[in-house]
Amino acid sequence: MMPAQPENPVLVEITRADQVESQHRGAIAVVGVDGKLVRSWGDIDRFAHPRSSLKPFQAIPLIESGAFQAYGLSMPDLALCCGSHNAEPKHLKRLAEWLERLGLGEQHLFCGPQRPAWSLLDVSGAKEAPGASLLANNCSGKHIGFLTTAIHLGISTADYCDLDHPVQRLVKEVVTEFTDHVPSESQTSVDGCGAPAYSFPLRSFALAMARLGRPEKTGGQRTAAAQLVVSAMTAHPWYVAGTGRPDTTLMQDSGFPGIAKGGAEGFFALSIPGKGLGIAIKIDDGAYRATSVAASAVLGQLGVLDREAMSRLKAIANPRIRSLGGIQVGEIRPCLQTFS
């Protein structure tokens, strides 16, 4: 028998009254652009799928190929390509206009239909959200980016999600350079939207996020492409996710000097260009509710967020749990024993 892996530390607790009702374990890696480990919690050499946290890197071939410029795309378009949008009306309008510019329709998307994430959130107007569609899939911006790149390069669009498609080979080249890790066959799979997905040691993905924020060493057009991705996400965080979403909320706050991108199954990644740091977080049980709480705790520990910013960001850093009647009954908080 193989020896059991040691348990990761408890990162986040859910309380009810004065008792801890649930706990979320996980791992966190904080890595500098020079590759040095700055801080860590848990097993950071364990492999994890970044899932949608990979999107900023998957957008780079759109720029490097010249497709972004050739089709006159905007910075909000690029933010959508890097994002997991709520499918709010303005998201859908911009995506539809982008597809029309390509001469394509929703039926050309391979991502599969999905209900708008907006309809699942307690935000104004959510009851009017449309039903499931391909365009409403939170990954549709990424897929339209793939299609744009393929059309510009004059290659097939029918199989653009195949692992061996030229666009996906370009993506793999990008993620390999930024992570310093070549995904093996066993580390290659398929994401929920049908695009290729890769797993990396958590440490490697934190390095990739540091390099995304400080890409000077990548050189040439890759440096410029990475800088454009960061600029788009920073300037247009609402298009990266949307109303009520932690990554958007964090990037909209004046006290946060970086980018954030969540992924499915409890993944969250951040880049702090001014400090040359990348952060990768994986919650073991895949709980989305724990990601922004753990991220905020780390940012506080690193001095990236001050007390005023943490207070403003309480909704994602230390959410309150309320009864259906609105009474506060508990909270979601970082584990004090871990972050002390």
CA 188/CA 4 separation, integer angstroms: 24
Phi and psi at 146, nearest 5°, equal: -60, -45
Is the separation of the CB atoms in 332 and 5 below 8 Å? no
Q: Is domain 10-334 classified as CATH 2.60.40? A: no
The structure's pTM equals 0.95
Is residue 301 left, alpha or beta, with left meaning phi > 0 and alpha meaning psi from -120 to 50? alpha
Distances (CA, A) of 247 to 3, 32, 233, 238, 253: 37, 21, 10, 9, 10
Measured distance between the N- and C-terminal CA atoms of the chain, rounded to whole angstroms: 36
Contacts of 220 (CB under 8 A, 6+ apart): none
Residues forming beta bridges with residue 13, ordered by sequence position = 23, 333
Which one, of 256, 245, 241, lies nearest residue 315 by Cα?
245
State the number of CA atoms in the 13 A half-sphere of 41 facing the CB: 26
Which one, of 55, 209, 62, 229, lies nearest residue 138 by Cα?
55
Each residue's pLDDT tens digit in the chain (340 positions)? 555 678 999 999 999 998 999 999 999 999 999 999 999 999 999 999 999 999 999 999 999 999 999 999 999 999 999 999 999 999 999 999 999 999 999 999 999 998 887 666 555 555 565 678 999 999 999 999 999 999 999 999 999 999 999 999 999 999 999 999 999 999 999 999 999 999 999 999 999 999 999 998 887 899 999 999 999 999 999 999 999 999 999 999 999 999 999 999 999 999 999 999 999 999 999 999 999 999 999 999 999 999 999 999 999 999 999 999 999 999 999 999 999 8
